[in-house]
Amino acid sequence: MRLLSILPIARGIRLEILTYFSAKDIPVGTMVSIPLRKKIVPGIIIESEDALQNKSAIKGMDFSIKKILQHKEDISLPLWLMSASKKIAEQSVTSVGGVIASILPKICLEQPEIFFQQKRDAPVTKGHFEFLAIQSAEDERFDTYKSIIRESFAKKKSVVVILPTLESAKSISESLSKGISDYVVLLGDPGSKKNLKIFFEKAHDDTHPLLIIGTYHVLSLLPESIGTLILEEESSRFYKSQRQPFLDARIVACEVARSLSIRFIVGDKLLSV
């Protein structure tokens, strides 16, 4: 029997790590389903130990250890997403599980086999984190973005542009897609299962570099071929979530870029940074 330390992925849970058991030896990082407060929630295995070697620790626990309900061995969150979530949680004074539950679209937790197969974590050539700020008129910024996109495509790297609202994402898509429309992927309604599946398949097609556009929901579903992440309309108040744990998408974007070791650019007519 294995004693598992599991990170629950749910909002409003103050405990970072919970203990469960399993008759099978399941790899660390695997996504599982666990019983919690009369509900079934997803979780991630952080540590696995032999229960026989921890008899004294088990006897000293003032609660009964429950069994995990199910798991799929080939499903796990990307390492870069786990790393970014930990940094976001530290800055936002909340739990890592709360961060993951906030930035992942709900369908990703309900059907993780579609989005988090281990093969998606294939090794890639890493760069280094770089922060740049662009404060100028919209036309000038967009011309700069177009230049960055051309440069990135030449290096076989994709570019992500994050906007505070879906309307803004659609608008900038029209401006930046001229001449490269076949290689632009726009995430529409993140609450739509159909939209998310289509977006994910296109975004992870590595036959050609892409321009990926959307709101902050895009950040948890990025391919590792990304070379630059642009956060446009940086001063917008809509980047700040009004739901617990009240994350700021600007912090989320920055930490995702840092974990992926890529260039991070913020732009606006008047920056708040």
Cα–Cα distance for residue pair 72/125, rounded to 1 Å: 28
> Which tokens belong to 54?
């921890």
Evaluate if residue 209 carries a pLDDT over 90.
yes
pTM for the whole structure: 0.84
> Which tokens belong to 272?
């708040």
The reported pLDDT for the residue numbered 73 is: 64
Q: What is the pLDDT of residues 34-90, one digit of tens each?
A: 888 788 888 888 878 887 766 665 565 545 677 776 666 678 888 899 899 999 999
Provide CB contacts within 8 A for 212, sequence distance 6+: 158, 159, 160, 161, 185, 187, 203, 218, 222, 226
The reported pLDDT for the residue numbered 19 is: 84
The better pLDDT of the pair 65, 129 is held by 129
Confidence band of 123 (pLDDT split at 50, 70, 90): very low
